[in-house]
C-alpha cells in the first residue's frame, strides 16, 4: 500500500475522532445556551410583572388626583346647596351633586380594582423571583457539570488535533488538499474503499483501467459519480 494511503486512512480515523469530540463540544455549548435562555425567560417574567405593577400604580396615582379634584368639586356643590334660596337653583345644585357622586363612585371602584391588580402583580413578581433563585441554584450544579465536561473535551480535542496534524504532515500535499476539500464539503468521510468494481459510497462502476491503477492500494482516484477519494483495499 502506498505510504500516502496508509497515512490518509489513519488521518480519516483521527478526523472522525476529532469530529466526535467537536460534536460533544457543540452539545455542551447548546446545553449552556439552553440554561442561559431559561434564565433570561425567568428574568423577563419578573421584569414584566414589575413593570405591569408600576404601570398600574402610575394609573392609580393619576386617578387618585382626579378623585381628589372631584371630592373638592363635590364639597363645593354641597356648600353651594347650603346657600341657595330658590327651588330651581336647589334642583340644579342637587343634580350636580348627583353627577359628581356617580363619577366619584366609579373612580373609587376603579381605584379598588387597581389596588387589587397591583397586589397581584407584585405577588407574581415575588413568586417569579423565588423561582429564579431556585433556578439559579439548580443551574449552578448543571453549569459546573458542563464546565467540567468541557474542560475534559477541550483537553481531548487538543490531543486529537495535534495527533491529526502530525498524521496530515505525512500525506503528500496534493492528496491532502483534495482530501480536506472533500471532507470540508461533504462533512463526512472523504476516502472510501472500492466495493467490488464500484465506488464504496455511491456504487458507480469504476472502469477496469482505473481499477488496475488503484490495485493493491498503489494509487488513490476520485470517483466520477460522487467525487470522493477511492482506493483498492489490499
Least Å from the CB of residue 20 to Zn ion:
24
Q: How many residues does the chain have?
A: 234
CA distance linking residue 42 with residue 36, whole number of Å:
10
DSSP secondary structure string for all residues of 117-179: HHHHHHHHHHHHHHHHHHHHHHHHHHHHHHHHHHHHHHHHHHHHHHHHHHHHTTS-HHHHHHH
CA distance linking residue 184 with residue 164, whole number of Å:
15
Between 9 and 192, name the residue whose CB sits nearer to Zn ion: 192
Please tell me whether residue 176 binds Zn ion under the rule CB under 5 A.
Answer: no
Please tell me whether residue 202 binds Zn ion under the rule CB under 5 A.
Answer: yes
Stretch that binds Zn ion, among 32-40, 83-91, 163-171, 194-202 (CB under 5 A): 194-202
Least Å from the CB of residue 172 to Zn ion:
22
Task: Figure out which of the listed residues 129, 139, 156, 225 binds Zn ion, where binding follows CB under 5 A.
Answer: 225
Task: Figure out which of the listed residues 199, 206, 220, 229 binds Zn ion, where binding follows CB under 5 A.
Answer: 199
Contact 78, 70 (CB under 8 A): no
Please tell me whether residue 53 binds Zn ion under the rule CB under 5 A.
Answer: no
Please tell me whether residue 223 binds Zn ion under the rule CB under 5 A.
Answer: yes
Phi, psi of 191 (to 5 degrees): -120, 125
For cell 379634584, name the residue: 69
Task: Figure out which of the listed residues 52, 150, 226, 233 binds Zn ion, where binding follows CB under 5 A.
Answer: 226
Binding residues for Zn ion, rule: CB under 5 A, are 199, 201-202, 204, 223, 225-226
Amino acid at each position: 500500500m502506498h505510504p500516502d494511503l496508509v497515512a490518509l486512512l489513519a488521518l480519516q480515523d483521527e478526523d472522525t475522532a476529532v469530529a466526535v469530540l467537536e460534536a460533544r463540544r457543540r452539545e455542551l455549548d447548546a446545553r449552556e445556551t439552553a440554561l442561559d435562555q431559561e434564565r433570561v425567560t425567568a428574568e423577563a417574567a419578573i421584569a414584566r410583572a414589575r413593570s405591569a405593577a408600576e404601570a398600574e400604580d402610575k394609573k392609580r396615582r393619576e386617578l387618585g388626583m382626579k378623585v381628589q379634584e372631584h371630592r373638592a368639586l363635590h364639597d363645593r356643590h354641597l356648600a353651594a346647596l347650603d346657600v341657595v334660596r330658590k327651588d330651581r337653583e336647589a334642583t340644579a345644585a342637587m343634580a350636580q351633586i348627583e353627577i359628581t357622586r356617580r363619577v366619584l363612585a366609579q373612580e373609587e371602584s376603579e381605584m379598588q380594582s387597581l389596588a387589587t391588580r397591583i397586589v397581584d402583580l407584585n405577588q407574581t413578581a415575588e413568586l417569579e423571583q423565588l423561582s429564579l433563585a431556585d433556578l439559579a441554584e439548580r443551574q449552578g450544579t448543571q453549569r459546573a457539570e458542563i464546565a467540567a465536561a468541557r474542560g475534559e473535551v477541550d483537553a481531548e480535542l487538543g490531543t486529537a488535533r495535534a495527533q491529526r496534524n502530525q498524521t496530515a504532515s505525512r500525506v503528500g500535499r496534493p492528496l491532502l488538499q483534495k482530501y480536506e476539500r472533500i471532507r470540508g464539503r461533504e462533512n463526512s468521510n472523504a476516502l472510501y474503499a472500492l466495493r467490488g468494481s464500484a465506488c464504496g459510497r455511491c456504487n458507480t462502476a469504476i472502469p477496469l483501467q482505473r481499477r488496475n491503477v488503484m490495485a493493491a492500494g498503489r494509487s488513490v482516484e476520485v470517483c466520477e459519480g460522487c467525487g470522493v477519494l477511492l482506493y483498492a483495499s489490499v
